[in-house]
Amino acid sequence: MNAPASNAIDTVKLLIDGQWQGSQSAEWRDVLNPATQQVLARVPFATLAEVDAAVAAARRAFKTWRLTPLGARMRIMLKLQALIREHSPRIAKILSAEQGKTLADAEGDIFRGLEVVEHACSIGSLQMGEFAENVAGAVDTYTLHQPLGVCAGITPFNFPAMIPLWMFPMAIVSGNTFVLKPSEQDPLSTVELVKLALEAGVPAGVLNVVHGGKEVVDALCTHKDIKAMSFVGSTAVGTHVYNLAGQHGKRVQAMMGAKNHAVVLPDANRQQTLNALVGAGFGAAGQRCMATSVVVLVGAARQWLPDLKALAQNLKVNAGSEAGTDVGPLISARAKQRVLELIESGVREGATLELDGRDVVVPGFEQGNFIGPTLFSGVTTEMRIYTEEIFGPVLVVLEVDTLDQAIELINRNPYGNGTGLFTQSGAAARKFQSEIDVGQVGINIPIPVPVPFFSFTGSRGSRLGDLGPYGKQVLQFYTQTKTVTARWFDDDSVNDGVNTTINLR
């Protein structure tokens, strides 16, 4: 990675103290269209001095931003959500080009982030404290939810709109300032959303953007002026961020890898279930942390395998920009190679390759990072295609005899992001949701990501930290609860004398 050449290719800017500026870095990376390998832009890996400047700007801005009235912050969010709605089609095209998603999926990416911005518009009620009168003689107690200071966020390549919108709107509307590090693989759509935030009225220094890799991540994790760190991405990086930032005294939330199971009982609605499994397994080329990557067929439901294969076989693989596309390219050639190696490991370890997407060729996009829908049966829990998160359009099928066995299988898996049960039995659904040890459960829903009124609740190996990235939990994450206990005296108050006990009277 070298400094950018003097040609027509755009360079991605840093946002520091309200100004978009070029980087002095000597290290740059190409932002590639994964369907064509066309260079869309070049992104800098910010210098440590630039990271320091961004944090310093956020620290200065916090002094006045924290005192900005709730109503003023709320109105900025109202303006932001209107701007996102207006510009969503335009940003979706940018997102599709740099990430590879279909246009419809790109618009969905933006919309799921927009929902969090809409929730941020309720900050007036979300940030209210509690009050109790006369907890002791003429003593009242109340709580305040006060902002922490400078916060930071590190976002992944697979949702360059949704995940940044999970982070900075709730952080800044709560009175904090923010330093955002988007994925270096597809930062363009994130930058467009940040531009809208500035247009909506976010003051200089309240929101800053730096780009980069591990050096920038580590600089944010260890910076003395950053109070909280939010991360979404791979398990390896998430664990590193959680440990490093935690060691440096920060609050940390890290949403990480997954192996999401869908359990199918024989009484489930057949066509609706098959449609859901194929859509959740192969949509976004399988590059969702909440993608269904394992299907567990219970009892007679194992007879559904041919129908599952036939439906997956009919999906259209093409560039995300092309009409009718179901499965777009993977984000990079490196990601494609990793998925190909995992498919080969499945064949080598004895799984049955029902549907092979390795040799797919898309006319007009021969250089794209494409892998077609791939389906394995006869999978065991010792195989790499089961134990590792593939993050590609690969669906693996296991078979068990009973619901109890399916629950036991899922609870043995180290991940706990999401799971689903397909059935028409209320009793089975209630048993499943009660006994399953996974944070987010869907009943006849394959991707059970809750709306922002509720909290994202991935668990076990899919999450480090106590509080989720949106909903009620995120306000707790981005604020410090202060409890005030007060007594007021008038001139005629009775003198109670000296009290040397811990009791209020």
Among 178, 185, 181, 240, residue whose Cα is nearest residue 216: 181
- Please give the span between the terminal C-alpha atoms of the chain, in angstroms, as a whole number: 69
Task: Give the 3-state DSSP-derived string for 39-52, with helices as H, strands as E and coil as C.
Answer: EEEEEECCCHHHHH
Residue 167 · residue 208 · CB < 8 Å? no
Residue 391 · residue 381 · CB < 8 Å? no
Residue in 121, 151, 221, 289 annotated catalytic: 289
In the 8-state DSSP scheme, what is residue 294?
E
Q: Which residues on neighbouring strands pair with residue 455, listed in sequence order?
A: none
How many Å is the maximal CA-CA distance in the chain?
90
Assess whether 289 carries a catalytic annotation: yes
Tokens of 72: 């003023």
Q: Which residues on neighbouring strands pair with residue 65, listed in sequence order?
A: none
Rounded to whole angstroms, the Cα distance separating 240 from 468 reads 18
Half-sphere exposure of 141 (CA within 13 A, CB side): 7
For 78, left (φ over 0), alpha (ψ -120 to 50), or beta? alpha
Host H or E run for residue 312? helix 305-313
Sign of the torsion angle spanned by Cα atoms 391, 395, 399, 402: positive
Rounded to whole angstroms, the Cα distance separating 270 from 251 reads 45
Length of the chain: 505
Residue 393 · residue 343 · CB < 8 Å? no
In the 8-state DSSP scheme, what is residue 390?
-
Q: Which amino acid type is present at position 257?
A: G
Residue 432 · residue 263 · CB < 8 Å? yes
Burial class (CB in 10 A: 0-12, 13-18, 19+), 381: exposed
Residue written as tokens 């066309």?
38
Tokens of 281: 């397994």
Rounded to whole angstroms, the Cα distance separating 244 from 257 reads 18
Rounded to whole angstroms, the Cα distance separating 131 from 144 reads 10
The catalytic residues are 289
